[in-house]
């Protein structure tokens, strides 16, 4: 037992050491400087973060034609039993600071950006007075893409939000309820909405063992960006099978 504990301790030490080396190399390749004002030791300084504008309005996530409170589905679209009840978009992808941060977060693997980006999501949640969820579910990655990237960016955002939404009462995160069973290409690589829908169709699958954790509960879906919203709709459609009370979705920005 002592030998096992010693080996485990050494493994943890080595893992931490490699992480520190990786971080130091990254700091050399990409020194920390605010993307906007170039102040050192941070990618987003406090002053520039405060200047980021949250969206002052939201639209129906189904038809994308009508302004609705909190991004709720409009009355007309509600008649079709939509996969989600609302989609709140925190800020604009047209903001260079936002688009650059998301790209570096996802494709250059800068996990530290999950903290300021999740703060934006938190501020949007508070600004729009969204209901506190019973469970937060990040949009899952396909196992192949997860191994390649090393982390699920939506999960990091969800974990930060779950911890800070109610600081004294962390909200539970569902990581095994929804899985990605189909490898898909990035939605932004398709120009037509029909192609995006086809790309993401039947990409997700729910685990029926978690029925009791979902049934009659408020669910909050978290993703980094959305394009047409097809990914969130597919997730919502699967989650509906577990009969939740409501499904809200929350993203940083919409990328057209």
CB 183 within 8 A of CB 145: yes
SS3 252: strand
Residue 153 to residue 173: CA distance in whole angstroms: 14
Residue 4: band (very low, low, confident or very high) from pLDDT cuts 50, 70, 90: very low
Cα–chain-centroid distance for residue 27? 25
Q: Which pLDDT value is given to residue 77? A: 96
For residue 196, pLDDT over 60 is answered with: yes
Residue 197: band (very low, low, confident or very high) from pLDDT cuts 50, 70, 90: confident
- Average pLDDT (233-255) is 96
CB 171 within 8 A of CB 162: yes
Q: What residues are paired with 251 via a beta bridge?
A: 89, 223
Lowest mean pLDDT among 71-80, 177-186, 215-224: 177-186
Lowest mean pLDDT among 50-54, 197-201, 209-213: 197-201
Residue 178 to residue 187: CA distance in whole angstroms: 19
Lowest mean pLDDT among 66-70, 118-122, 202-206: 202-206
pLDDT tens digits for 121-151?
999 999 999 999 999 999 999 999 899 889 9
Q: Which pLDDT value is given to residue 30? A: 63
Q: Which pLDDT value is given to residue 29? A: 61
Structural domains of the chain sorted by starting position, each given as residue range(s) with its CATH number in brackets: 35-254 (3.40.50.2020)
pLDDT tens digits for 9-51?
454 545 455 555 655 565 666 678 887 788 888 888 888 888 8
């Amino acid at each position: 037992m002592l030998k096992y504990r010693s080996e485990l301790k050494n493994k943890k030490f080595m893992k931490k050491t490699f992480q520190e080396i990786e971080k130091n190399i990254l700091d050399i390749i990409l020194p920390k400087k605010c993307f906007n004002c170039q102040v050192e030791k941070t990618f987003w300084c406090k002053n520039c973060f405060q200047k980021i504008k949250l969206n002052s309005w939201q639209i129906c996530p189904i038809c994308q034609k009508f302004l609705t409170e909190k991004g709720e589905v409009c009355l007309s679209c509600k008649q079709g039993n939509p996969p989600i009840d609302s989609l709140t978009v925190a800020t604009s992808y047209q903001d260079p600071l936002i688009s650059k941060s998301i790209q570096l977060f996802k494709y250059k693997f800068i996990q530290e950006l999950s903290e300021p980006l999740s703060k934006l999501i938190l501020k949007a949640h508070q600004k729009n007075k969204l209901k506190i969820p019973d469970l937060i579910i990040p949009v899952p990655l396909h196992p192949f893409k997860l191994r390649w990237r090393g982390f699920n960016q939506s999960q990091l955002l969800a974990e930060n939000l779950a911890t800070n939404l109610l600081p004294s009462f962390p909200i539970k995160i569902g990581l095994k309820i929804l899985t990605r069973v189909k490898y898909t290409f990035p939605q932004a690589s398709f120009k037509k909405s029909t192609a995006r829908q086809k790309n993401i169709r039947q990409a997700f699958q729910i685990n029926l063992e978690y029925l009791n954790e979902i049934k009659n509960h408020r669910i909050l879906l978290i993703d980094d960006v959305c394009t047409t919203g097809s990914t969130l709709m597919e997730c919502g459609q699967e989650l509906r099978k577990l009969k939740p009370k409501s499904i809200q979705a929350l993203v940083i920005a919409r990328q057209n």
